[in-house]
Amino acid sequence: MRSSEKAMRITISGLSGCGNTTATRNVAKALGLKVINYTFRDLAKDLGLPFETLQKMSKKDPVYDYILEYRQISFAEQEPGCVIGTRLAGWVIDNADLRVWLHAAPEARARRIALREDKPFREVLGYTTRRDHENAVRYKKHYGIDLNDRDGFDLIVNTEYLTAAQVSALIVAAAKLAKENNLLKPSRIAKHVKALITKKLKNNKLWRELHGSNPSWSQVR
């Protein structure tokens, strides 16, 4: 049991097109929590790079993945009450009160993305499938994270036949039950990821250009 009650920390993860961003915002609003959703698009903006350029660079140099997760984890650790909505949040955030995975078939996700971005379905399906595979390989190589291993997740929601409001309602209900339980739930891999990121970023040229010192988990910029 926790020694004292505190605001909740919830992670919401899933592949592109599952409704992660919408669910994260809706759940945070319903529970009065802060949204933390630092993505590659945010990192690209901070580095002054086009998103597509950063994607290509990240395939050649894993430092961008490490910087992304460093910032994401740091932001979450400094905020006692938050909903963290990223693909790896359920693995890399330690001591979350509730870990949620959102699921939908590739075709359903592609249809949503195609509608949202006004692009041909087949084109989006092909791109999404390739990106899913590339990301899965990258996460396994860089962190040892298997996206198909969801043993530590508390709730898995198939969003394919549910509205955004229904998905959010399920998560809010589960969060309230989790708060009643008031249990410490450490991640099996979070400490390993933090140690790995610290090692990889130490003395890294790009990191030092951005931060001027070696990684410190108490410092967020």
Determine the pLDDT at residue 3.
34
CA–CA distance, 142 with 28 (Å, rounded to integer):
30
Architecture of domain 9-106+144-211: 3-Layer(aba) Sandwich (3.40)
Determine the pLDDT at residue 6.
57
pTM score of the predicted model: 0.90
Per-residue pLDDT of the chain (221 residues; tens, 9 = 90+): 343 345 899 999 999 999 999 999 999 999 999 999 998 899 999 999 999 999 889 888 999 999 999 999 999 999 989 999 999 999 999 989 999 999 999 999 999 999 999 999 999 999 999 999 999 999 999 999 999 999 899 999 999 999 999 999 999 999 999 988 877 778 889 999 999 999 999 888 888 888 777 777 655 44
CA angle, 195 as apex, 15 and 202 as ends, to 5°? 105
Q: Hey, how many other C-beta atoms are within 10 angstroms of the C-beta on 162?
A: 16
CA–CA distance, 66 with 198 (Å, rounded to integer):
9
Determine the pLDDT at residue 55.
86
CA–CA distance, 79 with 10 (Å, rounded to integer):
11
Determine the pLDDT at residue 221.
43
CA–CA distance, 199 with 214 (Å, rounded to integer):
9
Determine the pLDDT at residue 2.
41
Query: What does the chain come to in residues?
Result: 221
